[in-house]
Structure 1
């Protein structure tokens, strides 16, 4: 009997010992899974760790880090990363001096779209880390957080604190002039200076106020509580295509009267126009500039709908914007729900017909999403061939007599449609591969100088003549461009053999192609 009790007691102790892993054992096990690229397993281990050690700031940092590593694309920014930020928030709350927590939250906070509302917090975190790093003599700490200066400068840049950003970028260059970070810092300084110059030029080119606007502006400045006159001034700015000034006026109206539904409608209209007129140099200092703008519109419309939930025009406006935000969880579904409600309501025929159109577009986009998943997951199946056949754009006749000669006519067809218009570029090289000239490049890549999206053209041109040829993004269909047989600095090229290239990257499917055509002159 004694032997049985002893055996039983030893067995219980053994089980207890196995179950009670130390935090170090948890983190080592998770790191092993991470090294083996089994991210989900690493996350699961650290989830167990935070249950076992709920007061451990270290455990929450690690969990947040592994969750962030599972984000595989832009869509995951809005589905995966909020949970990672929640873990880092907990880690900082448990221990505000945890540099790893602040570094992770700060570095990711400067990278993600501002729609996630992390940028201001990220800047504070990174300033905290730099302060701590500069107070220590430990070289390992300085090495561990060496990139913090770049992240902070990027945060300042995206927050339009250009002077602070340039100061940090210059410091990065001074610390190690030959490093890649220094080259990147100089590129970012150049981008900021270009945007500052563009903004100054834009201000100079702004047309003078009409007599009506001048009179209204003076009156509104002197009578800030006169909402009616402020609304008239905002409308006057809209009629003059001065959308950004209209936005400021309608925002002031809403501050004074937060239930003014007409002001919400006019503000959302002005913001949509301001953020959807095409790319400009501002995209180079914040690649998410236009996306963040659309999210601001959505937040305005969400607020308005919460005030006037039976206003079908508001729901239509929100649905139209929400359909653009396919990567934000629930927005497309919300748009369809809004549209269906409008169709079944007693709204005007104008609004109901618009809702029916948008409802069809919403289902069309859902179909496109399913097709893109098929193409991505089953690239070699007959169903994928069927999709490409369905999407194939017809090639119309082209009247070449309208183009001045001598010239080279570049014809090509984009026979695929993604959620967004693709990034496309057309350029010329010599037969030896030397860059000659860019004929056309899509707006986002051109203005943002977005690296990696069109890698062959980037390597060839190094963005040399991008400012002269950037245009609106082209989508599925037949396209014609003309090469005037000149190089990037306007000189006639010599007779000989050349290569014309067309490179395209689709998003979010990441389908990619680069077509090549030789030409002799």
Structure 2
């Protein structure tokens, strides 16, 4: 009897809880109220709770995706790039879940598509975005039997945008012309008119400005002539890609290999070569292409990951490919967000006694590298969020004065030696500039500037003082990004025109900007150039704890 009473009490309690449980519509309504107040994190948290209770309700996943998108935008406004990246990826995941639960979910398709064609290329969502917009367009008649010009205008506006980005120009034209049929006078109509004008202008420019013919090797010319007669020949496109790689033309090799893969999507050889070509392109460092496309190297990082994942789909049990993918995920910048996946794979390989020691030891090294990298990221959060605390100072001390590099004494005779320490480390190497000004503040010469800042110039300014003073005069001193530790540069007492400077007072400045922590540092030292040697030491504390300048007569 007591047992029966206990069961009845439990059942009664469960019924009471069920009666108090909020409906998913209530969750959505409360989340909308939070979003109106710009409390996007709270809206996400509330809808995550709703998803736990209603995991099979597609509308909850849709609303959670929209909340993640709003949070990502807010994070971008405050330069919290980690949260912004996470928010965008989570938004796509929730839209995808909504579509899985309801394949004809119009709003989920529309929002996935709109996000897909508007987020940066590094997310790799363009092609999927266009497909979802096409699905949304196919559902228009079902959802709106009497028509809805406003919604139709939105869909075809973004379809036109996506088609243009895919270089499907005629389809872009058709989509934008449909927008003008539906909503010629609102913002979608204006965007469509602008798109059509751009297409017209692009065609006119192409007719007027014919591209300069590129010098090709005899081997390339012969293969291309054969391809003209046999466009669908896989082996010819593969041979073209290989030849470009032999000549170290990595971008051309990628195009040729992608065409080969379109013909034979299951070719492991072509996929392997494509991964290599993208990887070689990525390690070239910054060059003139950055001026036109500041996202070039970011996009390469995501592209090589995607293509490596495709290679693993084709050959999933190859331990060498698994190792390469694990290391790639671990070494990639934080925004790729693959480090945990890479660490799991490397740990699995390291513990697999059936594999050769060469694979296991390399996996162990990568595992250690990745764990250290994650530890650094935690320290950076501490410094970014609590910069004035004693514990933040301990982080700076850990990255304090460490001896890295050697004195650059290759210039004999009269010179100025510049030595400084970068006492901080972030997720990726900082942008740094070292330059000289005279006593009046006039720019004299850049001694060093990081590759991105040197090539991107005014397109994306990370070092505002150097940019303003130098007007992006690099004097050929653009180089690979430097990181934590000691660095040495030599000034030969010449200006940016290679003319000998007169005796007098000069100022050496080091400016550095770290990302994503947004840590910034700048330190300067005055030095007399003339009759006698001079020396200045500036100890400024973090993040550039020491600048040592010596004039050697």
Fold match by TM threshold 0.5:
yes
Distance 1:132-1:26 versus aligned 2 partners, 3 A rule = farther
Tell me how far apart the structure 2 counterparts of residues 84 and 267 of structure 1 sit (CA, whole Å): 30
> Unaligned stretches of 5+ in structure 2?
1-24, 99-104, 131-154, 162-175, 530-553
Q: CA deviation at 1:505?
A: 1.2
- 8 Å Cα contact 1:503/1:515 also seen in 2: yes
1:455 partnered with 2:489? no
Q: CA deviation at 1:502?
A: 0.5
User: 1:124 aligned to 158, 166, 169, which one?
Assistant: 158
Q: CA deviation at 1:59?
A: 12
Q: CA deviation at 1:474?
A: 1.6
User: 2:80 aligned to 58, 73, 83, which one?
Assistant: 73
Q: Which residue of 2 aligns with 1:477?
A: 485
The normalised TM-score by structure 1 is: 0.68
How many residue pairs end up in the alignment? 446
Distance 1:311-1:424 versus aligned 2 partners, 3 A rule = same
1:303 partnered with 2:310? yes
Distance 1:318-1:87 versus aligned 2 partners, 3 A rule = closer
- 8 Å Cα contact 2:430/2:515 also seen in 1: yes
Q: Which residue of 1 aligns with 2:367?
A: 359
Aligned-partner SS, 1:439: strand
Deviates more, 1:280-289 or 1:292-301: 280-289
1:40 partnered with 2:41? yes
- 8 Å Cα contact 2:444/2:496 also seen in 1: yes
| 1:332-382 deviation per Cα after TM superposition (whole angstroms, max 9, x unaligned) | 111122222333163444433332332222222122222222332343444
Aligned-partner SS, 1:80: helix
RMSD between aligned alpha carbons?
4.9
Deviates more, 1:448-457 or 1:121-130: 121-130
Tell me how far apart the structure 1 counterparts of residues 493 and 243 of structure 2 sit (CA, whole Å): 46
User: 1:286 aligned to 293, 306, 324, which one?
Assistant: 293
Tell me how far apart the structure 2 counterparts of residues 270 and 322 of structure 1 sit (CA, whole Å): 17
Q: Which residue of 2 aligns with 1:275?
A: 282
Aligned-partner SS, 1:271: helix
Q: CA deviation at 1:311?
A: 0.7
| 1:280-315 deviation per Cα after TM superposition (whole angstroms, max 9, x unaligned) | 222233322111112111111112212221111111
Equivalent positions of 1:20-419 (< 5 A) are 30-31=35-36, 33-34=37-38, 38-41=39-42, 64-65=69-70, 68-71=73-76, 72-83=79-90, 110=118, 112-118=120-126, 124=158, 135-136=184-185, 164=198, 204=214, 208-209=216-217, 212-219=219-226, 222=229, 227=234, 230-328=237-335, 331-343=338-350, 344=352, 346-392=354-400, 393-394=402-403, 398=407, 400=409, 402-419=410-427
Q: CA deviation at 1:426?
A: 1.0
Distance 1:132-1:359 versus aligned 2 partners, 3 A rule = farther
Q: Which residue of 1 aligns with 2:170?
A: none
| 1:74-131 deviation per Cα after TM superposition (whole angstroms, max 9, x unaligned) | 32343112455789999xx8689x9xx99x957x955634324249869737966996
The normalised TM-score by structure 2 is: 0.65
Distance 1:243-1:397 versus aligned 2 partners, 3 A rule = closer
- 8 Å Cα contact 1:27/1:46 also seen in 2: no
> Unaligned stretches of 5+ in structure 1?
1-19, 169-191
| 1:5-49 deviation per Cα after TM superposition (whole angstroms, max 9, x unaligned) | xxxxxxxxxxxxxxx99x999978754x33xxx543576799999
Distance 1:166-1:253 versus aligned 2 partners, 3 A rule = closer
Q: Which residue of 2 aligns with 1:502?
A: 510
Distance 1:66-1:411 versus aligned 2 partners, 3 A rule = closer
